[in-house]
A and B are shown apart, each in its own frame.
Chain A
Amino acid sequence: MKNHIDIKITVPNQTRYLSLIGRIGENMVHELDSFPGDREALGQHINMVLTEALVNAIKHANSTDPNTEVQISINADDKELVIRVYDNGQGFDLDLVPGCNCPDPLEEQGRGIYIIRSLMDSVVYRKANGGNVLEMKKALG
């Protein structure tokens, strides 16, 4: 049976929605019947990735303006899970964000992109729809 999920969500640019978005992603993973791995762990990872990406959009890309919005899309089929978080802000240079290596343990900030990169197979930040999109992919097969 075909296993294709496509979710689009728009939320205000506020951290109070982190829990809601994270839970939507985690619950969606539990519907991926064909995923052969640990759905519990994958769900928790997707909750984490969505939370970090949303915080990134709110705090760094949209300049913490609560009147703007963040758009999120989550697509999954039998082979791949793709999460896209869109922002309308100035954006940032992903290559300048500490994220390839584990940040200094005594730094208070700078772990978000590192965590996303650790839990997903590919992470790209690029221009899209007049703004920017953080695109994160995870193989499911």
Chain B
Amino acid sequence: MNLKTEPNGKVMVVMVREERLDAHNSNELKVEMNRLFESGTRDLLVDLKEVRFIDSSGLGVLVSGFKNASTHQGSIKLCGLQTQVKSMFELTRLHRVFDIFQTIDEALESY
């Protein structure tokens, strides 16, 4: 899976550079988020702007990250959701769980 992780101020930004986030590749995002929280990251922003398709496994990995953030007294926010990805969040009501922003800049301003 193509992930790019870089800090922006106190926020760690993970860019998911894949068209799909599904049962085949989503565990790699879970491992990366776990690694970041275990190594002291508090605030994580996941940029999904290149993701056109997300399945239940991809959604589950983000929920796992949400719970992991809570365990570490941190936070996880999302940005760049394409229309279909956003509709899956709405179908599963996860749009009520996550703080979701249109752009990375809007998300960074929220901290």
Q: What 13 additional pairs, Cβ within 8 angstroms, besides A15-B23, A19-B22, A52-B56? A: A15-B24, A16-B24, A18-B20, A22-B53, A44-B53, A47-B53, A55-B22, A102-B91, A106-B63, A106-B97, A107-B60, A111-B60, A112-B56
Q: How far is the CB of B90 from chain A (nearest CB, A)?
A: 11
Q: For B63, what are the chain A residues with a Cβ–Cβ distance below 8 Å?
A: 105-108
Q: Which residues of the partner chain A approach B55 to less than 8 Å between Cβ atoms?
A: 18, 48, 51-52, 55, 112, 115
CA A63 – CA B22 in complex, angstroms?
19
A-B pairs with beta carbons under 8 A, tally = 71
Pick from A22, A44, A108: contact of B60, CB under 8 Å: A108
CA of A19 to CA of B60 in the docked complex: distance in angstroms? 18
Q: Which residue of the partner chain A has the closest CB to B24?
A: A15
User: A124 CA to B98 CA in the complex, in Å?
Assistant: 33
Q: Say if the beta carbon of A59 comes within 8 Å of chain B.
A: yes
Please indicate the chain B residues that have their CB under 8 angstroms from the CB of A118 in the complex: 91
Asked whether, in the complex, the Cβ of A19 is within 8 Å of the Cβ of B24, the reply is: yes
Contacts of A112 in B (CB 8 A): 55-56
CA of A115 to CA of B88, assembled, Å: 8
Chain B residues lying within 8 Å of A19, measured Cβ to Cβ, are 20, 22, 24
Given contacts A19-B20, A52-B55, contact A109 B60 (CB under 8 A): yes
Task: Check if A35 is an interface residue, CB within 8 A of chain B.
Answer: no
Interface residues of B in 57-111 (CB under 8 A from A): 57, 59-61, 63-64, 66-67, 84, 88, 91-94, 96-97
Alpha-carbon gap, A44 to B54, bound state (A):
11
